[in-house]
Structure 1
Amino acid sequence: MIRLPLWIFTKSEDFPFFIQYGYHDSECYLHSHEDFSELVIVLEGSAEHTVGTEHYPISKGDVFVINQDTEHGFTGVSDFRICNIMFRPEVLFEHIYNIRQSPGFQALFVVAPHYLQNHRFSSRLHLQSQEFAAVKAMIRDMITEYNRKQEGWQTYCYACFLQLCVRLSRLYQLTNTEQHRCVMQLAAATAYMEGHFCSSISVAELAQMSGYSQRQFSRLFKEAYGVSPNAYITNLRIQKAQQLLQNTQLPIGEIAWNCGFEDQNYFSRMFRQTAGVTPSAYRNRERNNVGKSAQ
């Protein structure tokens, strides 16, 4: 199987993003993405979407996300035209916490791609005519800006991409099929974690919120996100602490409390396990890096 790295499409390391129209008169060979995800919007025609050994019909108006290491391709193409948007989610969504609090975002960009890869998940977002026209216009605007590369084009494309992601995430929440509901159950719990990680959250509460048993929720969550629910919450708290250490003069004990850690020693221990250094050493290192960059 061919694994495609993002550098084939763009050499930019500081802006890992690529957008294009894709025209397919013949089948697209099976491949996977080495280090990026891909948002696909079907603009015209139809095809069979091959994911691993499964085949799913797709047509004009369908929207889906393919994450890295997912083997996929297109067969049975008929007047098939798509828009490919390739990106690294860990970079483009790293500090956009608000969008990660959307159940639709968690469903479309995290849970559904995982289910598509591992659980014969055929359901997807389908745009109706009015929304389809609006999304096509957004894509056209983005591609024009990306190709012209005028002053500020990266910021322009990034802003348009985030706007598109929000719009699609909202629409995903309105889709009402049994497979979508299963995805949304898990996504809703994750979105709640993203918005309330500084508060006390138990796995039992999250499981009840999702409609699964505690054991089933923990299993499904780890499958989709790669870590346990408790580890996910801890990582969110550490990320927030890193922000506060970099951008404020707050005492470390106050930062620990603000991030949901009631015990400063436990906070320091967990911070070191995650970041590799103590909170004070992290703050000093970041300050030194800022000083060097300003020279």
Structure 2
Amino acid sequence: MTTYLDINTPHEERIIGGGDESIATWFQMPYQSIVTRRETNQPNRALHKHDFIELVIILNGQGTHIIEDAHHPVQAGDTFVIGPNIQHAYADTNNLSLFNILIRNQHLQTLNHEYISMPGFYALFLLEPRMRAMHQFKSQLQLSPQALAEIGDWINFLEVEALQTTPLACSRARAFLQLIVGNLCMQYEALGSLDSTKLLHIANCIRYMDNHLSSSLQLADLAHAAGMSERSLSRSFHATIGQSPIEYLLNMRLQRAEELLLASPTPISQIAYEVGFHDANYFTRQFHRLRGMSPRAYRKQAEKNYRANAHEAATYTEAYGTSQ
């Protein structure tokens, strides 16, 4: 049960409620993919989670960021990403100011390909959040005062546009987010710490998978892309991701196949080839093993769900219109 302390309690001891947050809490319009939230004096906050991505930039002060059971000191310049459905909280806050950028999950993939193909993007937005959820992994990116000041100018512009909910303002907000993401990715790639370097090696491996999904890839190819030996890659990859590189590649291929099955009536044999399976029967067996149904059944189930949702929406619209 969430506890609310008296407002007169000293700031460092006050705890505001947790309370899970959803996209509906913050995103007012269906085309709105970015929301900003500035906390100028962040109090302690109980554990909570949300179903969107949160990019956090610490502007001033200090405190402790709690992720699951791990406690991480934070201070000005620290920058990190919190993935969906990750329990986190703030404690021991002291003049803690931060800027939160809330992002719809699917929006990251619509950013300029030049940015999302950067190793720094994979490390900051994909690998670090996963590492923090699995292990007591400390965020690596801390902006220098100069870099923080530069980012500060951009987040001010982003905030102005994001506070508006017109389509044009939302489009401008996305443009500023791209600038911020690109800058942060370059900052990450320049870190040079042992942990960040390891993540960047793995990020290079995953980026190579993503760009060569239809090719026949072997562990040697992935190790070469990562700049590591096969043994080192396998060990580091499993410690970071919880899977072997080949297992991860298989799941990446099946995830892409799911997208293609839903997006078009393309024959299943062609989809299999496009995601790197040169034997359609083997593709079907792997899909059934890991997804619990055949690709054909998956497509039919998705079509059935789509028709049911469309019918429900039409029924609601008709009833709503009648009530007016």
2:61 to 46, 52, 69: 46
2:100 to 67, 74, 84: 84
What's the offset of the Cα at 1:264?
1.5
Point out which structure has higher relative CO (alpha carbons under 8 A, 6+ apart). Answer: 1
Q: Aligned with 2:170: secondary structure?
A: helix
- 1:258 matched residue in structure 2: 274
Q: How many Å separate the matches in 1 of 2:272 and 2:134?
A: 38
Q: Aligned with 1:49: secondary structure?
A: strand
1:158 to 174, 183, 195: 174
Judge conservation of contact 2:79–2:139 (CA < 8 Å) in 1. no
Q: Aligned with 1:197: secondary structure?
A: coil
Amino acid at match of 1:256: A
Q: Aligned with 1:46: secondary structure?
A: strand
Judge conservation of contact 1:145–1:156 (CA < 8 Å) in 2. yes
What's the offset of the Cα at 1:117?
4.5
Cα–Cα, structure 1 residues 30 and 117, in superposed 2: closer, same or farther, change >3 Å?
Answer: farther
- 1:220 matched residue in structure 2: 239
After superposition, the C-alpha distances for 1:192-248 in whole angstroms (9 at most, x for unaligned) are 22222222223454356364535523422433xxx5533432343344445555667
Max Rg structure: 2
Judge conservation of contact 1:271–1:279 (CA < 8 Å) in 2. no
Q: How many Å separate the matches in 1 of 2:28 and 2:244?
A: 33
Amino acid at match of 1:38: E
Q: How many Å separate the matches in 1 of 2:283 and 2:176?
A: 38
The answer to whether the aligner puts 1:181 opposite 2:197 as a matched pair is yes
Cα–Cα, structure 1 residues 31 and 246, in superposed 2: closer, same or farther, change >3 Å?
Answer: closer
Which consecutive unaligned segments of at least 5 residues does structure 2 have?
3-17, 315-324
What's the offset of the Cα at 1:162?
3.5
The answer to whether the aligner puts 1:56 opposite 2:92 as a matched pair is no
Q: How many Å separate the matches in 2 of 1:285 and 1:9?
A: 27
Q: How many Å separate the matches in 2 of 1:20 and 1:55?
A: 21
Amino acid at match of 1:192: Y
Q: How does 1:107-146 map to 2 (within 5 A)?
A: 107-146=123-162
RMSD: 3.7
Q: How many Å separate the matches in 2 of 1:54 and 1:281?
A: 41
Judge conservation of contact 2:35–2:101 (CA < 8 Å) in 1. yes
Amino acid at match of 2:199: V
Judge conservation of contact 1:125–1:175 (CA < 8 Å) in 2. yes
2:299 to 278, 282, 287: 282
- 1:31 matched residue in structure 2: 47
Judge conservation of contact 1:198–1:258 (CA < 8 Å) in 2. yes
The answer to whether the aligner puts 1:18 opposite 2:35 as a matched pair is yes
What's the offset of the Cα at 1:40?
0.8
Q: How many Å separate the matches in 2 of 1:201 and 1:9?
A: 43
The answer to whether the aligner puts 1:103 opposite 2:119 as a matched pair is yes
Q: How many Å separate the matches in 2 of 1:178 and 1:255?
A: 39
Instruction: Name which of structure 1's ranges 262-271 and 228-237 shifts more when overlaid on structure 2.
Output: 228-237
Judge conservation of contact 1:100–1:191 (CA < 8 Å) in 2. no
Q: How many Å separate the matches in 1 of 2:21 and 2:259?
A: 30
Cα–Cα, structure 1 residues 115 and 253, in superposed 2: closer, same or farther, change >3 Å?
Answer: closer
Judge conservation of contact 1:100–1:194 (CA < 8 Å) in 2. no
Amino acid at match of 1:85: I
Which consecutive unaligned segments of at least 5 residues does structure 1 have?
none
Q: How many Å separate the matches in 1 of 2:24 and 2:264?
A: 40
After superposition, the C-alpha distances for 1:81-109 in whole angstroms (9 at most, x for unaligned) are 211112343x2235669344321111111
What's the offset of the Cα at 1:6?
2.4
After superposition, the C-alpha distances for 1:147-203 in whole angstroms (9 at most, x for unaligned) are 122343333333432442232112211111222222222222222222222222234
